[in-house]
Amino acid sequence: MGQRCSRRAAIEWPAVKRCQLLPPAAGYRFGFFTLPADTAALIEEVPFDEAMAEMETKLPGLAAVMEPDHPGMHRTDTVDFIVITSGEVWLELDDGAEVRLQAGDCVVQNGSRHAWRNKSNAPCQFAHALIGANVPVATPPSATAEQVSSASR
């Protein structure tokens, strides 16, 4: 914040630089994400490499953690605090179990392998706070579907 001669406060915004979606250790990111409906028609099939290039442009750093053999599945060195703000989404856990989450539900992911699936006919929006962490490669097993379901209610 700067001060002008008139003694009125002035906010000066530095040039916005696109940063990595995933924060470094001890860093953070906050935002909203909308996952389109599963029924949303694709205009055309896009080759995997082109889709990953577009993802890197729009969500820098996310493509690098995506598993090519299991679309949508990923693990990050972050603790993720997620609140579903509208719609519904299925959280696929490391063991293949899926949990349906609706508006108002919250989830905390501690560096666990997971994927988000919108099986509905409407978009799902969630707020996320991502905290950078040094998550060990050999993490304990992910939460079970029953643990996630009971914690979100």
pLDDT value for 92 = 95
User: How many domains does the chain divide into?
Assistant: 1
Q: Give the CATH number for residue 132.
A: 2.60.120.10
Three-state SS sequence of 34-75: EECCCCCCCCCCCCHHHHHHHHHHHCCCCHHHECCCCCCCEC
pLDDT tens track for 47-92:
778 877 888 888 888 888 888 888 889 999 999 999 999 999 999 9
Overall pTM > 0.95: no
- Boundaries of domain holding 78: 2-151
